[in-house]
């Protein structure tokens, strides 16, 4: 069986008991099911099989090399937002022509690096960026392929911190600036404009906003083609939602049903920058109870993972299911699950009905495959946790735990 499942009161990743992994790798520890990543990638790929498309997996959600490599073997490209992510994508074997470079603040050095790697195109987020890419490309004697990201001012109906397509968001170019964009591209002889991009937010759990955005993009593409720009690639987000807490997000095929008519009418190629949908429920965080603390009427399960491992609850008050890795699963105790870090925001659950747990018990924090380890920090000088991958009955440490020596490796005594 793929992914995470419960058998005889024991949680497994594929065919491996999570308790077995914790014994070997210690805690806290991320566990990723490679077949789960692959299945979600295939679900998207299949949903769009009747149009030319590229799934550019957003490695901002999970940039583990073994994960990127496994998806790359299935044909996945990557969406990167920094020179570092570009480096990791290339390291994992993703060819330059399947890499999309997004992000609002690309430096000249990053632009030059991407041009050297012959990426598929830049997702351009502002008018000054068109000029910057043009001048770097000119100096290198190259022509830079670009897509322009427009801000359609559409509400993705998601958490306001992960909305990206409203006019107050920093992403994309204001639709009213279309003439200026065309003017700037026309005089930029070292860029080649072939794509239009819109992304309205992450964790969308309905298709209505995406349908609206697709219609806006269709009008932009038609206008640009009339103006003589050979627009082919249409890059249409946001990110498809996943089940964290009983949400019932649409399937990939349901999102596809609102996108495909537009792509077919335009005879365009589709780019999908998806992260969470592929990675979110393909990973968990394992952590051990250090103490059970009673404080008046409150019970705290104090665990050895903290916001340095998984910051989503602190950052967005995000909900993650939590249970015991083995033993009775019935929720019988109301508790806060908190970490070891000296911040009151260092929590994973508040006033949650949970199974009874005692010192030393192994807990599983679910849906931690996206925006988990990638947002890790060493705050409180806590080494980064390892990442373990599973496939069938096998597991392996894909990224080792940081050591205390690692924590001081970049420093020296000065002055
Ligand atoms: C432009 C862009 N592309 C891709 C993503 C990945 O989104 P998700 O993880 O929801 O698929 C994001 C996330 O916000 C984004 O802003």
CB 31 within 8 A of CB 250: no
Q: How confident is the model at residue 1 (pLDDT cuts 50, 70, 90)?
A: low
Residue 397 lies inside a defined structural domain of this protein: yes
Q: Which of these three, 221, 253, 279, is where a domain ends? A: 279
Strand 283-295 and strand 298-303: the pairing is: antiparallel
pLDDT tens digits, one per residue of 167-220:
777 888 888 999 999 999 999 999 999 999 999 888 999 999 999 999 999 999
Same domain, 350 and 213: no
Same domain, 242 and 297: no
CB 284 within 8 A of CB 33: no
Answer whether the bond into residue 412 is a cis peptide, omega within 30°.
no
Residue 59 lies inside a defined structural domain of this protein: yes
Residues 6+ apart with CB under 8 A from 373: 30, 62, 64, 283, 309, 384, 385, 387, 399
Whether the pLDDT of residue 303 is over 90: the answer is yes
d(CA 162, CA 152): 15
Burial of 210 (0-12, 13-18, 19+ CB in 10 A): buried
Q: Which of these three, 256, 279, 302, is where a domain ends? A: 279
d(CA 124, CA 250): 29
d(CA 290, CA 292): 7
Q: What does the pLDDT read at residue 355? A: 98
pLDDT tens digits, one per residue of 18-46:
999 999 999 999 999 999 999 999 999 99
Residues 6+ apart with CB under 8 A from 17: 10, 11, 325, 326
Q: Is 83 helix (H, G, I), strand (E, B) or coil?
A: helix
Q: What does the pLDDT read at residue 152? A: 80
Residues 6+ apart with CB under 8 A from 296: none
Residue 99 lies inside a defined structural domain of this protein: yes
- Test site for ligand 1: of 37, 76, 77, 239, most ligand atoms within 8 A of the Cβ: 239
Q: What is the pTM of this model?
A: 0.96
Residue 414 lies inside a defined structural domain of this protein: no
CATH number at residue 353: 2.40.37.10
pLDDT tens digits, one per residue of 368-378:
999 999 999 99
CB 14 within 8 A of CB 391: yes
Measured in Å, residue 124 CA sits from the centre of ligand 1 at 15
Q: What does the pLDDT read at residue 318? A: 96
Burial of 146 (0-12, 13-18, 19+ CB in 10 A): buried
Which stretch of 93-102, 200-209, 253-262, 292-301 has the lowest confidence by average pLDDT? 200-209
Residue 16 lies inside a defined structural domain of this protein: yes
d(CA 67, CA 73): 10
CB 326 within 8 A of CB 17: yes
In the chain, the number of structural domains is 2
Neighbours of 160 (CB within 10 A): 12
Same domain, 179 and 328: no
Q: Which of these three, 227, 245, 279, is where a domain ends? A: 279
**CA 81 from chain center: how many Å?**
11
d(CA 173, CA 148): 8
Same domain, 240 and 328: no
Measured in Å, residue 239 CA sits from the centre of ligand 1 at 5
Ligand 1 pocket by Cβ (under 6 Å):
58, 61, 79, 102, 162, 164, 199, 202-203, 237-239, 273-277, 370
Going by alpha carbons, the residue nearest to atom 4 of ligand 1 is 273
* Selection from 197, 196, 198, 200 nearest residue 168 by Cα: 200
pLDDT tens digits, one per residue of 272-297:
999 999 999 999 999 999 999 999 99
Averaged pLDDT score across all residues of the chain: 96
Same domain, 261 and 361: no
Same domain, 19 and 64: no
Same domain, 237 and 378: no
Average pLDDT over residues 329-341: 97
Residue 227 lies inside a defined structural domain of this protein: yes
CATH number at residue 194: 3.20.20.10
Same domain, 181 and 327: no
Same domain, 178 and 198: yes
Same domain, 47 and 13: no
d(CA 415, CA 84): 31
pLDDT above 70 as % of the chain: 99
Residues 6+ apart with CB under 8 A from 72: 78, 92, 93, 94, 98
Strand 10-13 and strand 4-7: the pairing is: antiparallel
**Domain span at residue 50?**
34-279
Neighbours of 245 (CB within 10 A): 10
Residue 415 lies inside a defined structural domain of this protein: no
Neighbours of 87 (CB within 10 A): 13
Same domain, 126 and 231: yes
Residues 6+ apart with CB under 8 A from 105: none
Measured in Å, residue 195 CA sits from the centre of ligand 1 at 17
Whether the pLDDT of residue 250 is over 70: the answer is yes
Same domain, 206 and 302: no
Residue 413 lies inside a defined structural domain of this protein: no
Residues catalogued as catalytic: 342
Integer CA distances (angstroms), 234 to 74, 212, 387, in order: 22, 15, 34
Whether the pLDDT of residue 397 is over 80: the answer is yes
- Please give the number of the atom of ligand 1 that sits closest to the Cα of 277: 11
Going by alpha carbons, the residue nearest to atom 1 of ligand 1 is 199
Neighbours of 88 (CB within 10 A): 18
């Amino acid at each position: 069986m793929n992914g995470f499942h419960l058998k005889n009161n024991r949680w497994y990743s594929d065919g491996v008991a999570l308790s077995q992994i914790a014994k070997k790798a210690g805690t806290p520890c991320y566990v990723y099911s490679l077949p789960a990543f692959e299945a979600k990638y295939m679900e998207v790929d299949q949903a769009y099989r009747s149009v030319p498309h590229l799934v550019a997996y957003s490695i901002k959600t999970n940039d583990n090399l073994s994960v990127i490599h496994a998806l790359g073997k299935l044909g996945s490209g990557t969406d990167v937002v920094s020179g570092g992510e570009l480096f990791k994508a290339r390291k994992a074997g993703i060819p330059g022509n399947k890499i999309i470079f997004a992000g609002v603040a690309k430096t000249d050095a990053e632009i030059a690096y991407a041009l050297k790697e012959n990426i598929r195109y830049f997702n351009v987020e502002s008018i000054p960026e068109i000029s910057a890419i043009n001048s770097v490309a000119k100096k290198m004697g190259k022509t830079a392929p670009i897509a322009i990201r427009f801000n359609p001012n559409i509400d993705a109906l998601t958490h306001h911190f992960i909305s990206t397509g409203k006019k107050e968001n920093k992403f994309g170019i204001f639709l009213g600036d279309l003439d200026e964009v065309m003017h700037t591209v026309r005089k930029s002889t070292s860029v080649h404009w072939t794509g239009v991009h819109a992304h309205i937010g992450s964790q969308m759990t309905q298709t209505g906003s995406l349908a609206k955005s697709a219609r806006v993009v269709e009008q932009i593409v038609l206008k640009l083609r009339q103006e003589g720009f050979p627009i082919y690639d249409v890059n249409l987000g946001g990110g498809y939602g996943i089940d964290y807490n009983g949400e019932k997000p649409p399937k990939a095929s349901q999102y596809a049903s609102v996108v495909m008519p537009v792509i077919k009418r335009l005879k365009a190629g589709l780019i999908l920058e998806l992260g969470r949908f592929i990675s979110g429920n393909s990973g968990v965080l394992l952590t051990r109870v250090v103490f059970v603390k009673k404080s008046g009427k409150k019970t705290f399960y104090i665990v050895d993972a903290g916001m340095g491992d998984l910051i989503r609850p602190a950052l967005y008050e995000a909900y993650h299911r939590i249970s015991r890795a083995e033993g009775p699963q019935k929720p019988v105790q109301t508790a806060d699950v908190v970490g070891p870090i000296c911040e009151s925001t260092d929590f994973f659950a508040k006033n949650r009905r949970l199974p009874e747990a005692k010192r030393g018990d192994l807990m599983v924090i679910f849906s931690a495959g996206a925006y988990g380890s990638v947002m890790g920090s060493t705050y409180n000088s806590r080494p980064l946790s390892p990442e373990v991958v599973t496939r069938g009955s096998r597991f392996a440490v894909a990224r080792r735990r940081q050591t205390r020596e690692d924590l001081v490796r970049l420093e020296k005594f000065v002055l």
